[in-house]
Amino acid sequence: DILIDQFYKNSYDSGKKQYLIPYFMSCHPGTKDEDIVYMELWFKAHDFKRAQVHNFYRSPMANETTIYHTEMNSLRNIKINTEQVTDPKGARQRRLHKANLRYHDPAGWPMN
């Protein structure tokens, strides 16, 4: 909320007409179902509709790809007792994450 208010205030103060265009990456390693529901509720409360939502896909040499394959946070020192990182890997869970972020788009609702 504060970031949005500051963005629009600074845009107005500088005489520019700028807009926030939200872009979201769904199914990012470490994202839990609860996180997606929390984000969806926040978006609904603020009438924030996303036009750009893309699923995370692994790419070589990216830290996130290491996290995806090992299910461990490679940004911290990995030890025997390193916590596991949840990762939405199944097709149904990936569709559900994307559909929740684009709740306003009926085309993304079918889960079959």
**Considering the domain boundaries, does residue 75 fall inside one?**
yes
> Which residue segment(s) compose the domain that 52 sits in?
25-108
**Considering the domain boundaries, does residue 64 fall inside one?**
yes
Whether pLDDT at 6 is above 90 = yes
C-beta atoms surrounding 103 within 10 Å: 15
Structural domains counted in the chain: 1
**Considering the domain boundaries, does residue 13 fall inside one?**
no
Q: Which whole number is the average pLDDT over 50-69?
A: 78
Determine contact, residues 45/96, Cβ cutoff 8 Å.
no
**Considering the domain boundaries, does residue 4 fall inside one?**
no
| Mean pLDDT score of the chain | 80
**Considering the domain boundaries, does residue 41 fall inside one?**
yes
**Considering the domain boundaries, does residue 53 fall inside one?**
yes
**Considering the domain boundaries, does residue 31 fall inside one?**
yes
Q: Which whole number is the average pLDDT over 21-43?
A: 83
